[in-house]
Homo-oligomer: A and B are copies of this chain.
Amino acid sequence: MDKAKVRLFVEGRLEAGGCITLNDRQAHYVTTVMRLGCGARLRLFNAAAGEWLGCIEDAGRGRCVMTIEAQCRRACAEPGPTLAFAPVKKDAIDFIVIKATELGAAALLPVWTRFTAVQRLNLERLRANAIEAAEQCGRLTVPTIAEPVPLAALIAGWAPEQALLVFDRDRGGPLKAVITAAAGRALPPPGLLTGPEGGLAPEELDVLEALPFVTAVAMGPRTLRADTAAIAALACWQAFAGDW
């Protein structure tokens, strides 16, 4: 495999001479989808160890054991915005998780809001989506995905030194002005909060806008779907105040 293109997130310890057994999904991908066998090299990574070259030592029938060789990237911090978002229906929420991972979100916080229409979340599926996106996009970290909480709990637990940008079509200043104003300050990356398909309720916006760490932000003249709003907000932040 030229240049060890396959890149996998592994939870175990990575150190030269060590040994890692891939999980079932990864073993299937490596041996069946990519048809790699003994002697092939992959890249293995996690936040604590950075990225390492691994060599397939033993493989077959959904089994893949790797020997760890050399480190190819050191571990480093990957700070990024936090995306708080109201859960939406399946395709759109998968999309939010995948794109937010590519766009460098550090943490994803699902939030129950008044108009949230979905009732439950498959966090395991969302986490698998985040891992696959991290593998593809080249991150060393995988964004954390928290258990969903009601909006009141999100607010109660919010660290006031972290700005929270709340996106709403009808209220707030233009994104450009808000990001430009924030970009010069050396603060932790902000939280970005986007609502469900029906938007945040007026009383939710009232409560949010009264908080000292909240800035309300509008995104143009068109009604964006919930997933579009989340991704557009992240992209604009990263491009103009983040790591782009």
Contacts and interface: CB of A to CB of B under 8 A. Distances in A.
A221 interface: yes
Interface in A199-244: 218-225, 228, 231-232, 235-236, 238-240, 242-244
Most chain B CB inside 10 Å of its own CB: which residue of A103, A232, A240: A232
Given A220-B104, A232-B103, A136 B240 contact: no
Interface residues of A, number: 32
Given A95-B95, A232-B235, A104 B137 contact: no
Nearest to A7: B223
Interface string A163-201: 000000000001110010000000000000000000000
A102 B169 CA distance: 13
Contacts of A235: 231-232, 235-236
A174 B244 contact: yes
A234 to B, nearest CB: 8
A143 B188 CA distance: 39
Contacts of A138: 221-223
A54 to B, nearest CB: 20
B175 A239 contact: yes
B240 A240 contact: yes
A41 interface: no
B176 A239 contact: yes
Contact of A137 (B95, B223, B231): B223
A99 interface: yes
A224 B102 contact: yes
A235 B235 CA distance: 7
A136 B225 contact: yes
Contact of A220 (B174, B228, B239): B239
Nearest to A133: B225
Closest 9 CB pairs of A and B: A220-B244, A232-B235, A137-B222, A236-B239, A175-B239, A235-B235, A137-B223, A138-B223, A102-B228
Interface of A: 95, 99, 102-104, 136-139, 174-176, 179, 218-225, 228, 231-232, 235-236, 238-240, 242-244
